[in-house]
Structure 1
Amino acid sequence: MTNVLVPLTPASGREVGNALGVVADDWHAAEVWLQAIANRPRRNSPLTVAAYRQHLAKLRWYCENVSMNLPSKWTVQDVDAFYRFLKELPEHALCERDYAGRYAELGEAGYTPFRCVPSASSRSDIQKCVHALFRAWREVGYIQANPMGFHGAGTERKINANRAVSLDLFDLVLETMEEQPKDTFEARQRHVRDRFLLIALRELGLRSSELVKASMGAFRRLSDPKSGRTYWIMHVTVETAKGGLERKIPVTRQVFEALVAYREAFGLSALPQPSDSTALLLSPRTQRSATTARGIPLKSVSTRRDFGKWRAITSRHGLYYVVKQRLGAAAAFLESIGDHDRKAQLEQASPHWLRHTFAKAALMQGEDMRSVAAWLGHRDIGTTMIYTEQEALDLIRQTEQVRPDVLAFEAQWSPPR
């Protein structure tokens, strides 16, 4: 799907007798809808549009390669078929990767917008996007009825607080990384970058999107006039935060030490500056079309390295692949020593599990609920409370006051023989 609307004339487009005017096809009609969303006076519109664009790319690939039917012609049965496709994604629908693990890009052989089988929550997000598209099309008269009217907009995402990596298991992941060979320049760069990435997810409670969209300049100094100390914080901006909820979070010593080592490995100064627009997550590979400030092409890889012309990881998929590789290496070690339970836990884990790990650890260590909510970027403190099982604890304490000793607790419980 193109990112820019192509000016059309009645001769090149088609009159549909609706508020959209002249559009070339369904995908142009979808682009009109996306641009309308982008023009809304909402702070989260850029992220919303980016997410919707990814979802619609999946819809388009399905229509052009599987159903061979435009969405404006869909019936309820077509919707059912699309749902089944997402749930049982066939092997040929997955994007191909080369020997180095790089996914094929748009326009290359083997490209598809699917890098993995969508999870239940991802399927729900896709369904909500398509439902919103159909609803908007119906409102402007582009289609006569919404074929997803019977299906609804999909279920809401729910936090599963149990999807977290225990602290000792996280330490094992870092220890496994230390044991892996780092005998090349690129391997050493990947090591320090991945170590920083994992620690930042665990220690700062960031979402994947907030990490991949950040720049080095997100790390900046903040002086406390009361103590006289100057601290490092990370600025999660309106443009990078989910829901546009800007926040500035303290940076732990472990995160900052990992950041300094990572920057130095890529030839950057040890300390970041607020004006540094370099992408936060860099690749050891360099930009092929890199030039100097005077526009002189940098042809050799070594020269591009000298000028710091690194490629960047700019998608959640790229971050997901890096994290899963590191978790997978630790899982393989656990399998080798027969620790199958913890191996299974690591195989299920994802970058978002590390956000849950941060939340649970912070609350268990006595951090204030509202502080953790602000750190995570939760608008509703009730979302943060999910990590504490506070509702059940309140019921337990109330019951103990009214009816002491009526509840079963572990110290007094002996199973019957």
Structure 2
Amino acid sequence: MTDLVPVSVQNDDLVSTLTHAHGLGPVADDWQAAQVWLDAIATRGRKNSAETVATYGYHLDKVRWFCENVHPVTPSRWTMQDVDAFCKYLADVPEDAICARDPLTGAFASRHDPGYSPFRKQPAISSQADIKRFVHAMFRAWRDMGYIHINPMALHGAGTMRKINPERAVSIDLYDMVFEAMDAEEKRTFTARQLAARDRFILIALRELGLRASELIKASMSAFYKLSDPQDKRTYWVMRIGEETSKGRKERKLPVPKVVMAALGVYREAFGMAAEPSLVEKVSLILSVKTDRTKAHASGRVIKDVESRRFFQAWLPVATRHGLYHIVKGRLEKAAKILDEIGEPERAAHLRRASTHWLRHTFAKAALLTGQDVRTVAAWLGHSDLATTMIYTEQEALDLIRASNDSRPDFLAAE
């Protein structure tokens, strides 16, 4: 008996699906089939965090946009030639396909606005590989469930795994330059002072705690709490990275440096809060200077004016990694412009390439260079494999150097 698969027939306003034997259940089209798969991934267990599912959702948006705006063939009907067309498009996304931005605020167009696209910039080679692996995995799951006969990416492979580039880090002097640029900036308004305090905390937290962008964005103020050590009788501040926000769903509890707590206190006070957070606070850690117009008073009445919403701390959160990325890149760009002005274009270019994740790399390299044990650094970063942490070191080369010196002294070029 021949297995049958769904055949989607698409007209201008009509989508009809012939539902046959497959394991995805009743789905109207490929996008619902993809969502069934994503829902299944979310329930697999600890290795699949909400962040992973969200990232897959971003990749799916790109595939759908490509099918609806560039190449009108739905994924279940793709052949190798369609896969090639998609890969070529990823490698050279046209400028007019990059998401539009507000010229004043720099905010990207939302999904239903004119000029929207899920492509916010030309995907880097590593990002292209991530997207291809996602599509390959989706096709493999569809094939296993009988939704399609073959995986059209079977001969392409799943793409090269993303590798950490330890050189993507910001040196201490460049890091300090970012703060110098912030200090030199005029802060005449209440909002400008809020933004300066918040952004300083963001940069310090990323650099000093080694956080992923998603871990910072999804944290609440109550992530910071006090922990007493019965051995030395002292009380320390700790930041909890919950399993619901961390990659791999592995909870971490990080001791907080003084500089982070100092920056957090200034930031909180700028937003009308006490300097120290409490365990009962549910407000997001990273706040927008915009207020929530739907916020209600204890009486149940909506708070209508901005000043009152500020008084009651009705701040909206910065809820996405893209939002955090935009904040960090904006601060790096201002410092880069100063470097251009003083005749240091190479350092300016390096700073412009930096991103939120570069600050995590900066933490890792600095921690290892100052002699911290690699296992401690791995636990701090949330690495399940020590080999990942070792990438930030030169240990392999050092082992070879020492072995060579033991067997053949003075053989190696050295100073």
- TM-score normalised by L of structure 2: 0.93
> Which deviates more, 379-388 or 169-178?
379-388
**Is the 8 Å Cα contact of residues 115 and 317 (structure 1) preserved in structure 2?**
no
**Match status 1:243 vs 2:248:** yes
The counterpart of 2:407, out of the listed 388, 402, 406, is: 402
1:64 to 59, 65, 68: 68
Of the three residues 133, 142, 153, the one matched with 2:138 is: 133
* Paired amino acid for 2:175: F
- 1:196 is paired with a residue of what secondary structure? helix
Distance in 2 between residues matched to 1:294 and 1:85, nearest whole Å: 54
User: In structure 2, what is the Cα distance between the partners aligned to 1:395 and 1:315?
Assistant: 44
Matched residues in 2 for 1:307 and 1:88: separation? 48
Q: Are 2:39 and 1:35 equivalent residues in the alignment?
A: yes
SS of the residue aligned with 1:223? strand
SS, match of residue 230 in structure 1? strand
Query: Which ranges of structure 1 fall in alignment gaps of 5 or more residues?
Result: 1-10, 412-417
Is 1:227–2:243 an aligned residue pair?
no
Quick one: which of 347, 365, 368 aligns to 2:373? 368
1:143 aligns with 2:127: no
For residue 116 of structure 1, report the CA deviation from its aligned partner: 1.8
* CA distances 1:45-88 after superposition (whole Å, capped 9, x unpaired): 42222111111111111111111111111111111111111121
Q: Deviations over 1:233-278 (max 9, x none)?
A: 1111101111112111111111110000001101112111122111
- Does 2:320 correspond to 1:324? no
| Among candidates 353, 356, 370, match of residue 358 of structure 2 | 353
Contact 1:238 1:244 in 2 (8 A): yes
Give the length in aligned residue pairs.
400
- The Cα of 1:303 is off from its aligned counterpart by 1.9
Q: What amino acid maps onto 1:118 in structure 2?
A: P
Once the two structures are superposed, the pairs formed by residues 18-167 of structure 1 within 5 Å of their partners are: 18-42=22-46, 44-98=48-102, 99-167=104-172
Partner of 2:343: 338
Instruction: Give the Å deviation of 1:185.
Output: 1.0
Cα deviation for residue 106 of structure 1 reads 2.1
1:16 pairs with 2:20: yes
Letter in 2 for 1:182: K
Q: CA deviation at 1:43?
A: 5.2
Q: 1:93 to 1:295 in 2, by over 3 A?
A: farther
Change (3 A) 1:13 1:277: farther
TM-superposed CA distance for 1:12, in Å, is 7.6
- RMSD of aligned C-alpha atoms? 1.5
Counterparts of 1:258-407 in structure 2, within 5 Å, are 258-407=263-412
User: What TM-score, normalized to structure 1?
Assistant: 0.93
Q: Structure 2 stretches of 5 or more lacking a match?
A: 1-14
- Output the amino acid matched with 2:153: M
* Equivalent position SS for 1:22: coil
2:6 paired residue number: none
* Identity value in percent: 57
Partners of 1:295 and 1:109 in 2: CA distance: 36
TM-aligned CA distance change 1:121 to 1:293, over 3 Å: farther
Deviation at 1:292, TM superposition (A): 2.2
